[in-house]
Amino acid sequence: MALAEAGARGRLLRWPRVLLFGDSITEYSFQENGWGAYLAERLVRKCDVVNRGISGYNTRWAKLILPRLITENTGADSIAAVTIFFGANDSALKELNPKQHVPLEEYAANLKSMVQYLKSVDITADKIILITPPPLQESAWEKACLAKGDKLNRCNATTGQYAQACVQVAKECGTDVLDLWSLMQKNQDFSSYLSDGLHLSAKGNSFVAAQLWSRLEHKLSALPSLLPYWRDVDHTNPEASLL
C-alpha cells in the first residue's frame, strides 16, 4: 500500500500534550535527570511533553506569549495538562534588578490572567497546575551574582511572598498548586535542592518530578498507550491493527 493511501485510510494520530510553561527552571528541565525529562519518560506513548520554558522571563512577558502558544485553533482540545511556573524572576528586588522585577500584586494578577485565558480556550481548571518559585538559598546565589559583578538581587523572604500569592491565585481560580517554596523548606537544609541557590540541582529536579507526578498521575492515568503493543500487531495484516 502506498504511503499516501495509508495516510488517507488511517486517522490522524494526535498525541495529547502536556505543556510546561515557565522560566529557566522549566527551560532547563529537559536536561539530563531534569524534571521535565522525567515526565516525558513517564508519559511516552501517552502524551507529548512540550517544554516552553524561557530563561529569564517573568509573568509580565509570559502573559503576552501564552496566547501565541495555545489557541482554540491550534489544538487546545488536545491539552492534557499545563504547568505555569513563574516567580523566581518576578520576585527579584526592584532596586537591584528592575528589568525582571514584577510587583507582587501585578504578579498575582498576571497569573490569574493566564489561568483565565486558558479557561477561555476551554482548558479546564483541573488541567492547570500552578508552581511556586522554589526557596532561594541566599549565600549561594550571592556567590553567583558576585561572579557576574552583581550584588545579591533576590532574597528568600520576598520569594516567599510571591509563593504565597501563587498559592492564593490557585485557590481563587480552582487550580492545583505545587508549593515548592514551602515543601522544600520542610527539609531544614533545602540548599541541596539547588545548584546555585536559585536553579535546581539533581536532587531538586528529582523532588519536583516526584511532587509533580503525584499531581499529574491521577489526571493522566486514564490516557491509553497510543498504537498497539508490537506483539498485538497482526503481522499478516498490519493494516488491520495500525490503520
Question: Are the C-beta atoms of residues 100 and 56 closer than 8 Å to each other?
Answer: yes
Give me the phi and psi of 50, to 5 degrees please.
-105, 120
Concerning whether 199 is annotated as a catalytic residue, the answer is yes
Comparing CA positions, the residue from 134, 233, 145, 143 lying closest to residue 181 is 134
What would the grid cell of residue 148 be?
Answer: 557576574
Concerning whether 196 is annotated as a catalytic residue, the answer is yes
Question: Are the C-beta atoms of residues 50 and 101 closer than 8 Å to each other?
Answer: no
What would the grid cell of residue 126 be?
Answer: 483541573
Distance, CA of 225 to CA of 212 (rounded, Å): 21
Quote the DSSP letter at residue 13: P
Distance, CA of 48 to CA of 44 (rounded, Å): 7
Concerning whether 232 is annotated as a catalytic residue, the answer is no
Exposure b/e, 17-52, CB count within 10 A at least 16 = b: bbbbbbbbbbbbbbeeebbbbbbbeebeebbebbbb
Distance, CA of 201 to CA of 207 (rounded, Å): 10
- Using the structure block, give the residue that is written with the C-alpha cell 526592584: 94
Catalytic residue selected from 48, 182, 192, 196: 196
Question: Are the C-beta atoms of residues 33 and 93 closer than 8 Å to each other?
Answer: no
Q: What single-letter amino acid sits at 153?
A: N
Catalytic residue selected from 24, 182, 192, 201: 24
Catalytic residue selected from 23, 90, 195, 199: 199
Q: Which residues are identified as catalytic?
A: 24, 196, 199
